[in-house]
Amino acid sequence: MSKFSMDSFSLKGKVALVTGASYGIGFAIATAYAAAGASIVFNDIKQELVDKGLEAYKEAGIQAHGYVCDVTDEAAVQAMVAQIETDVGGVDILVNNAGIIKRIPMLEMTAEQFRQVVDVDLNAPFIVSKAVIPGMIKKGHGKIINICSMMSELGRETVSAYAAAKGGLKMLTRNICSEYGEANIQCNGIGPGYIATPQTAPLRERQADGSRHPFDQFIVSKTPAGRWGETEDLMGPAVFLASDASDFVNGHILYVDGGILAYIGKQP
């Protein structure tokens, strides 16, 4: 008789920390975790962003806990994680979602700009993971989910720093799995495809003649699903990777991209 039940997908009683989750993909993942029963904790770099996030969670009927913290500052992150443990409980689920992108051609990008992207997109997930892993070892379980990207696999013009960081994040994911799998910690990644968010809205606006924006056309033609992703498309995969249902899934990157990475594209 199988021991499987839908309770395997429940996050009841779990504490989930989603970095940079005042809005966008992080907010969507956190709301899914709340619906699955988790207590939600998030951070952002400025008080005004945390306040906006708290307001958005409240509107969604979620009692979230927000902290101001720069995820590239190791001492600040250690202090935040200790504070979360006091206020809410030890972190069971970490989603390294905070990230930045600078779209600058490589020859025009300064080394300082390159370092800044790598600092937020790669060093910070190392710093935050390092802060929560001891508590997870003590509890005997833990889930770390890194928000990777299709740029963990592909290159594109103007995103040298972002692609380098996200490629590194894929390998950090595999390495956390390698080092801490024995402690019953699963570390996986989610690689979103092109997601329809307020930031990408201008790229999806119809042109004056009613035709699609050229970039919109390009993305839709490259996606077997024939559409942009919605933040809702990330919710199920994120809940799965945070739940007991994925206890033997480790070091894996789950690309939620409508099939882009599987597809060579239509012949012109």
* pLDDT tens profile 142-171: 999 999 999 999 999 999 999 999 999 999
pTM (whole model) above 0.75:
yes
Count the alpha carbons within 13 Å of 209 in the hemisphere toward its beta carbon.
Answer: 4
Residue type at position 50: V
Q: Is 180 a catalytic residue?
A: no
Q: Evaluate if residue 75 carries a pLDDT over 90.
A: yes
Number of H helices, E strands in the chain: 9, 7
* Per-residue pLDDT tens digits for 87-107: 999 999 999 999 999 999 999
Q: pLDDT confidence of 28, banded at 50, 70, 90? A: very high
CA atoms within a 13 Å half-sphere pointing along the CA-CB vector of 104: 15
pLDDT at 233: 98
Q: State how far the Cα of 256 lies from the Cα of 265, in Å rounded to an integer.
A: 17
Contact 224, 259 (CB under 8 A): yes
Selecting among 162, 180, 194, 255, the annotated active-site residue is: 162
